[in-house]
Structure 1
Amino acid sequence: MRMFRNPILPGFYPDPSICRVGEDYYMVTSTFEYFPGVPIFHSKDLVNWRQIGHVLDRPSQLNLDGTPASRGIYAPTIRYHEGIFYMITTFVESATGARKNFFVTAADPAGDWSEPYWLNDAPGIDPSLFFDDDGKVYYTGNRVPPEGQQYPKHMEIWLQELDLETKQLTGPKLSLWDGALKQIHAQEGPHLYKINGYYYLVIAEGGTGFTHSVTIARSSSLAGPYENCKMNPILTHRHLGSQYGIVNVGHADLVETQHGEWWMVCLASRPYGGPYRNMGRETFLVPVAWENGWPVVNPGRGIIEWEMPSPNLPEKRWPSLPVCDHFDAPVLEERWNFIRTPRGQFWNLTENPGHLRLKLKPESMTQEVNPSFVGRRQQHISYAVRTAMAFTPKGTTETAGFVALQNHNFQYRFECAMLSSGKAVVRVICRENGIETELGSKVIEAGKMFLKLEAIGQSLRFDVAKEAEQWETVVEQADGTVLSTDKAGGFVGAYIGLFASGNGEASSNYADFDYFEYVGL
């Protein structure tokens, strides 16, 4: 029996949504303040996935200027209907600002995708689309109940028809369901399906923390009333404790294979070193069976397991991605992201071929801005990262190097800088809750140097070398829990990246990176 291991998308890939087109499966996830937005993945067997692009890959589609940390793009849904792919999502402007819902379309899921169609009078978050048998299409989302909230974060799921000609909602708004778990709060992430004559409404309840869960209701009529499944929640791990290996399970989407099997993708986290979730929320896969008209998730177990029997589909593995990016390609590979929409041509692969050149911007890693930064997700509990950097600071404000990033106020920077004496130094800065502490430093000759970060669980070590593999330790046993959402708050996972900054000062200087290697240990 062929087995697979969870998570199927390790690292910060939350809120998965999936659709099948023939024998092909496509999946998207949330990206919040990172750009490009909404990675899209392709699979033949539901286990092995390859990224084929991003849905929102142009500044005209996604303007993240001024978007605070953990705001931006929330909970996309992907659907396919009559030759067209649809991706619908929420753009959250700020903690208290507008939630704007929009969708884009494409004939080819690898792109290009259309410019956004912004929906008027579409309150709430986590929109989804449902195409009914009669050709009509409906929008579902969450909102404050019209009669008011009966308890904190009490929400309901609502529905309205979407006119694909005008690209706007039409007709009355209908209240569908306010969840199975009264008082648990945060009813969101709705997905509608029509299966054997019933309309099934799958939602997330309990917030994004350890009380997260998946619940379901059904109705013989689209407008309801919706019958609560007596087995709710159909999936949760909250009874297993905050330090179980897989926690905060929720926000699910269902898919039926071409052979009639049912599977569920959902988010969950892997805490380590205590209840600390550095990688944020990741994508997991779990089987579903149907009994008496209701889904049973992983029959006999009822939870997500690390290792499970694979779907009854021909295995299709994709070429493995390199652990080292030598920056030889003409464009950055899909794993790299920016913080917010990139402004100014601050990076290139052409001025020094075979290198990533980052030009110093005045913006710094400690601001909610678009700094000179490119990064990729942390995907393993233990990992090693190394780079070769050529950088000569020209002033005491100029820095460049590595950053292990949770957000602008929670991070580790392993950077080269200039002392007031004019000498170059590499230093490790821990920034926790906005307060910076220099953990260690080493005077070094400017120019080419090698930097390495090694994480064994929550213990971080930073090494530097002037000659390849001649490592000297700058800091060891630094506390990795600074990079967890449990300390930093928010909804994203940790990134490991490269940066260059004038820290408030304009500069013509730059840093050249010969390679970037990330290896899971």
Structure 2
Amino acid sequence: MTSIENPILPGFNPDPSIVRAGDDYYIATSTFEWFPGVQIHHSRDLVNWRVISRPLDRASQLDMRGDPDSGGVWAPCLSHADGQFWLIYTDVKRRDGAWKDSHNYLVTAPAIEGPWSDPIYLNSSGFDPSLFHDEDGRKWLLNMIWDHNRTGGDRFGGIVMQEYAPAERRLVGPVTNIYCGTELRLTEGPHLYRRDGWYYLLTAEGGTGYDHAVTMARSRNLTGPYETDPAGHVLTAKDAPDALLQRAGHADIVETQTGEFYMVHLCSRPLDETRRKPAGPGAGIHADDVRRSPLGRETAIQKLVWEEGAFPRLAHGGNVPAARVDAPDLPEHRFDAEPTLTRFAPGPLPDGFQWLRTPEPARLFSLTDRPGALRLFGRESPGSQFEHALVARRQTDLAFRAETEVDVQPGDYQHFAGLIAWYGRFKFHYLAVTADRAGDRVLTVYSCPADWPDARVEYPVQPIPLPADGPVRLGCDVDGSELRFRFAAGGDWRDLGIVLDQSAISDEAGNGPGNNFTGAFVGMCAHDTSGRGRPADFLHFLYEAR
């Protein structure tokens, strides 16, 4: 094994925090409004990774009902000290406008699989918290501070620090602002390291769009003053628009057991057809060169050279992220490949699937009411921030096919269920079985491509009559920016004859880069806007890269 291919965590996996415990490596990534909260990945060679835990899995730890799209769990920090794992996370209740309501908590566990404790409330002064364990045993919480009095688009007030007292289970002592960043502004994502008599402060800057960057500063004293690396940003793609990995930033560093250093960071891969202007009419979907990344912000890794007394540097030179980097001197450790076809059975929801916001999944779905099927109970509309019966998995490939089979008897047009390509409440394409005004079963498409200021839903096909009963197979085929729906009702597959804009299911679509923070999902959903909670049964789910 000689190299690592980026990204190491494809699809929506942003804001990585990495820690080594013995010979094991773990990366925690943000999950935003998806439940359970925080996704923890495991590796033993920094090349092969698998999801091993989602620790915030009960109401006492996390309740995101009412959280906005791209709210919820931001930028977790995972560390290991004193024989246990420490996980810091934010639950963002408001993210738009002059104010943010961002509450920071701490949970701990003796092992990465848990059991994870109930949370300890820390503060609400800002987001991107991290916990630094100093050599003397004291612990310090860092976070960016939100300054609502600032204007001009930068309300990031710097990186603040306060001591955490484990015995008292609270923050103590003064709050100190230790670093205000560079002229790139929007300073966030702090991580602190102690090495060679220096405290090294790693931050993210420039916002999470295409000006994103990683900046490092250092000080002989814990509370500063911190001197910024005179060479500039350690990592950024802001001046390299042709690099494969864009929006590179929000990083963390780990040292291997053999003394090598690696940096994990978020990135995105814009679709080729949205990177450049089309040559002429009909040559592409977008004529304004708006880059779009349906897979969202992913996690990549870079090898570092960190000489004694010096700032770290990318091993391949410069500060632009590489698509392929040298692997560490560690034994290869592979995991079994994920199955393409999911069959449902009583027990926990299969790995890879999540739902939205609520810690009460029994109100959304059941794996026991009809053994061999996932039963979804139709709840509120696709625009709901509270109870939305949607179970989905990340889109991890630029080209893929997905299929399911739904058995549903909608009594009227307020009840509908099916296959959905989903980003958020105003960005989705939905192939649904429902009923017409006469109560007869029909197939329809609801599309909200996020291009319109009022985010209205369009109906790109006339309702298609379906048999009165029996399961209906639903499928979608995605190739870059194009999505095609198909269905089968007792016969061969039929294409709907329309092409939908899958690039609209991305961070950048709608309000511009950086205003949305998740990524595309594909999955199953049921809605019943009458409030009766009528069910739909899904018999299997298939996801296959193409």
Q: Distance in 1 between matches of 2:446 and 2:533?
A: 24
Paired letter, 2:52:
I
The CA deviation string for residues 321-341 of structure 1, in whole angstroms up to 9 with x for no partner, is: 111111135211231111111
Query: Any conservation in 2 of the 1:244–1:271 contact (CA below 8 Å)?
Result: no
Helix, strand or coil at the partner of 2:499: strand
Residue 407 of structure 2 corresponds to residue 390 of structure 1: yes
Q: Answer with 167-176 or 227-236: which moved more.
A: 167-176
> CA offset at residue 119 of structure 1?
1.4
Secondary structure, in 3 states, of the residue corresponding to 1:337?
strand
Residue in structure 2 matched with residue 27 of structure 1 by the alignment: 27
**Gapped regions of structure 1 (runs ≥ 5):** none
Alignment of 1:312-323 (within 5 A): 312-323=329-340
Cα shift at 1:254? 0.1
**How far apart are 1:47 and its partner, in Å?**
1.6
SS at match of 2:509: helix
Could you tell me which amino acid in structure 2 is paired with residue 156 of structure 1?
A: G
**Of 257, 282, 289, which residue of structure 1 is paired with 2:298?**
282
Q: Which residue of 1 aligns with 2:466?
A: 444
Alignment of 1:87-486 (within 5 A): 87-95=87-95, 96-120=99-123, 122-144=124-146, 152-179=154-181, 181-182=182-183, 184-241=184-241, 244-272=243-271, 273-274=273-274, 275-291=291-307, 293-328=310-345, 330-343=347-360, 344-361=362-379, 363-433=380-450, 434-440=455-461, 441-445=463-467, 446-467=469-490, 470-486=492-508
Partner of 2:525 in structure 1? 499
Moved more, 505-514 or 44-53: 505-514
Query: What is the DSSP-based 3-state SS (H/G/I as helix, E as strand, rest coil) of the residue aligned with 2:94?
Result: coil
Q: 1:358 and 1:223, CA in 2 relative to 1: closer, same or farther beyond 3 A?
A: same
1:34 and 1:154 mapped to 2: Cα distance? 26
Cα deviations by residue, 1:138-183 (Å, 9 ceiling, x for unpaired): 111111579978983342111111101111111122221111x31x
1:235–1:250 contact (8 Å) kept in structure 2: yes
Shift of 1:245: 2.5
Aligned CA distance change for structure 1 residues 154 and 400 (closer, same or farther; 3 Å): closer
Q: Which amino acid aligns with 2:21?
A: V
Change (3 A) 1:175 1:438: same
Q: Deviations over 1:90-127 (max 9, x none)?
A: 2111123422111110001111211110014x511111
CA RMSD of aligned residues (A): 1.8
Structure 2 contact 364–387 (Cα < 8 Å) conserved: no
CA distance in 2, matches of 1:370, 1:246: 35
* In 2: Cα distance, 1:89 partner to 1:449 partner: 41
Do the aligned partners of residues 421 and 268 (structure 1) sit closer, same or farther apart at CA in structure 2, a change above 3 Å counting? Answer: same
Worse-superposed segment, 246-255 or 164-173: 164-173
Identity over aligned pairs, percent: 36
Tell me which protein shows more strand as a share of its residues.
1
Shift of 1:342: 4.4
Are the aligned partners of 2:91 and 2:103 in contact in 1 as well (CA < 8 Å)? yes
For 1:467, the aligned partner's letter is: G
Could you tell me which amino acid in structure 2 is paired with residue 392 of structure 1? Q
- Which digits, 9 at most, give the CA deviation of each residue in 1:405-450, with x for residues without a partner? 1111111110011112332111122113421111124211142111
Q: Quick one: structure 1 residues 277 and 151, their matched pair in 2 at CA, closer, same or farther if it must change by over 3 Å? A: closer
Question: TM-score, structure 2 length as denominator?
Answer: 0.91
CA offset at residue 371 of structure 1?
1.0
Supply the AA of the counterpart residue of 2:489.
K
C-alpha separation between the residues in 1 aligned to 2:87 and 2:534? 40
Post-superposition offset of 1:192:
0.2
Query: Aligned-pair distance for 1:224?
Result: 1.4
Dislocated runs of 4+, deviation >6 Å? 145-151
The 2-side partners of 1:80 and 1:68 are apart by 31
In the alignment, the residues of structure 2 paired with residue 497 and residue 381 of structure 1 have an alpha-carbon distance, to the nearest angstrom, of 16
3-state SS of 1:481 partner: helix
User: Quick check: 1:214–1:233 contact (8 Å CA) kept in 2?
Assistant: yes
For the Cα contact (< 8 Å) 1:153–1:185, is it kept in 2?
no
CA contact (8 A) 2:147 2:155 kept: no
2:287 equivalent in structure 1: none
- TM-score normalised per structure 1: 0.95
| Separation of aligned partners in 1, 2:402 and 2:382 | 19
Letter in 2 for 1:6: N
Alpha-carbon distance, 1:244 to partner: 4.1
Name the CA distance, whole Å, in 2 between partners of 1:334 and 1:58: 17
Maintained 8 Å contact 1:355/1:513: yes
Residue 301 (structure 1) shift: 4.9
Amino acid in the other structure paired with 1:212: H
Q: Deviations over 1:244-300 (max 9, x none)?
A: 421100000000000000000000011103111111111101100024511001333
SS in structure 2 at match of 1:328: coil
Report deviation, 1:366. 2.1
* Whole-Å separation in 2 of the counterparts to 1:462 and 1:509: 25
Gaps of 5+ in 2: 275-290
**Alignment-mate amino acid for residue 516 of structure 1:** F
Q: Which amino acid aligns with 2:506?
A: S
| More off after superposition, 72-81 vs 223-232 | 223-232
Deviations 1:304-332 (A, max 9, x none): 22222212111101111111111135211
Distance 1:222 1:508 in 2: 55
- Contact 2:483 2:501 (C-alpha < 8 Å) held by counterparts: yes
| Stretch deviating more after TM superposition (12-21 or 218-227) | 218-227
CA change 1:467–1:305 in 2 (3 A) is farther
Residue 475 of structure 1: CA displacement?
Answer: 3.7
Cα deviation for residue 368 of structure 1 reads: 2.0
The Cα of 1:64 is off from its aligned counterpart by 0.7
Letter in 2 for 1:279: L
Q: Distance in 1 between matches of 2:319 and 2:517?
A: 26
2:198 and 2:503 map into 1 onto residues whose CA distance is 46
The aligned length equals 514
Which segment is superposed worse, 400-409 or 423-432? 423-432
